[in-house]
Every structure is written in structure tokens, then in C-alpha cells.
């Protein structure tokens, strides 16, 4: 596998092989081996609920544990120390069957104690949609985030061959294909958990 340089990122964008829409400031956003992405205007955070835990085998809708916040242009979303929130990139990403991508936090955000993904930094070939950001403040001070702010970067890697069953393939469990807003975990739709839930009911 090889990471695309700025030269090849531009070539792939021009050829339509990868998609970043909108890419309003390519001269600013395209870095030596990545593209800076901006944060959207919708955030999701966990409500304070009186349940002992989040159980993936509980048929309750995990989304009901969360609430959405829409932030107006120029207004901040404040993420407090120890807090976790979901958001999406402002841009929609489209990948072909032979390229994977990784989302990394920008160094400037990390130095404020804010991480942009916990585990969901990997983007499968064939994915199309906005990228959900898993934001945590591991610092000691609240940090303001603004819609349209560059908060993360996407790195593209070529594969040895196109995937036989890319993300979105009918045989794939592509739960987040085409997402446009912060999506709560859909782990209860994992095929192995569905079988366990069915056995539990018997």
C-alpha cells in the first residue's frame, strides 16, 4: 500500500477517482500527504440516563440515549474535559474500490487536548458519505469548536488490488453507507449480535 502525495491527491480529485465535496479551499486544505476536513454544524452527546450501562443486546434504540445540537454559524460548541460527542465532517467523501482512507486529528487540535476519533478512523473502500467524528476532550480545559473549522485530516492509501466486496456491497454489513449526519452506534445490527439476541429470546 502507498499513501497518496499532494500531487496524486489532486490528480485523483481531478479525475473523479476520489470525491471530496465541497472542497472550497484546496490551496489551504490539501496538505503534503492529506486533506484537511472541516466540522459540520450538528453534534450529538449522551444524555444523563438512569441505566446501568449501554447493552448492545438490549433492543432499545441506542440513539435514544443521545441528543442532537445544531450550532449556528459563528457560535461555538463547547466540549468539556472528559466529555464525548459525535459530529460529522462538513465534506462528503467518496472512495473507489481500490483506495482506503484514514482520518487523523490535526496536531493543532491534539495540542488542545481534543481528539477527533476514538476507534473509527478507518474508512473502507467504496464508502460514500460524511465521516462521523468521535470527539473527546482529554485535556483539562473546555474547548470551543466552530462549524467550518478544520479539525481533522484524511489520508488516502492505494490497495494492492480492488476489493472484491467493497463497502456498500450487498453481502457487506454496510450500516453507515451514505450517512449525512452524526450517526449513533448501530452495533445492534451486527449479524453476530442479531443471532445472539434471537437465541436469547428462545
Closest CA to 85 of 47, 116, 44: 44
Annotation-wise, does 50 bind a ligand? no
Annotation-wise, does 149 bind a ligand? no
Annotation-wise, does 150 bind a ligand? no
Q: Per this entry, what is the length of the chain? A: 202
Partners of residue 70 on adjacent β-strands? 42
Annotation-wise, does 110 bind a ligand? yes
Residues 75-97 as b/e (b if ≥16 CB within 10 A, e otherwise) read eebebeeeeebbbbbbbbbebbb
- The yes-or-no answer on residue 202 being catalytic is no
Annotation-wise, does 109 bind a ligand? yes
Annotation-wise, does 141 bind a ligand? no
Cα dist from 183 to 58, 62, 202, whole Å: 18, 10, 31
Annotation-wise, does 124 bind a ligand? yes
- Contact between 176 and 183 under an 8 Å Cβ cutoff? The reply is yes
Annotation-wise, does 65 bind a ligand? no
Annotation-wise, does 164 bind a ligand? no
Choosing from 83, 134, 157, 183, the catalytic residue is 134
Contacts of 16 (CB under 8 A, 6+ apart): none
Active centre residues (catalytic): 134
Which residues participate in the annotated binding site for dCTP?
106-111, 124, 132-134, 153, 167, 175, 179
Amino acid at each position: 500500500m502507498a499513501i497518496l502525495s499532494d500531487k496524486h491527491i489532486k490528480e485523483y480529485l481531478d479525475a473523479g477517482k476520489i470525491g471530496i465535496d465541497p472542497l472550497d479551499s484546496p490551496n489551504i486544505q490539501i496538505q503534503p500527504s492529506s486533506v484537511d476536513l472541516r466540522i459540520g454544524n450538528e453534534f450529538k452527546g449522551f444524555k444523563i440516563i438512569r441505566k446501568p450501562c449501554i447493552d448492545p443486546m438490549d433492543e432499545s434504540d441506542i440513539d435514544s440515549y443521545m441528543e442532537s445540537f445544531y450550532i449556528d454559524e459563528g457560535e461555538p460548541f463547547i466540549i468539556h474535559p472528559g466529555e464525548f460527542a459525535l459530529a460529522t465532517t462538513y465534506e462528503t467523501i467518496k472512495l473507489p474500490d481500490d483506495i482506503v482512507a484514514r482520518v487523523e486529528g490535526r496536531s493543532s487540535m491534539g495540542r488542545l487536548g481534543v481528539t477527533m476519533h476514538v476507534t473509527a478512523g478507518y474508512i473502507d473502500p467504496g464508502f460514500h458519505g460524511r465521516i462521523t467524528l468521535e470527539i473527546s476532550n482529554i485535556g483539562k480545559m473546555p474547548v470551543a469548536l466552530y462549524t467550518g473549522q478544520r479539525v481533522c485530516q484524511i489520508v488516502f492509501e492505494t490497495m494492492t488490488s480492488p476489493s472484491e466486496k467493497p463497502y456498500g456491497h450487498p453481502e457487506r454489513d454496510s450500516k453507515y453507507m451514505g450517512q449525512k449526519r452524526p450517526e449513533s452506534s448501530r452495533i445492534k445490527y451486527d449479524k453476530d449480535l442479531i443471532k445472539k439476541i434471537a437465541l436469547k429470546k428462545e
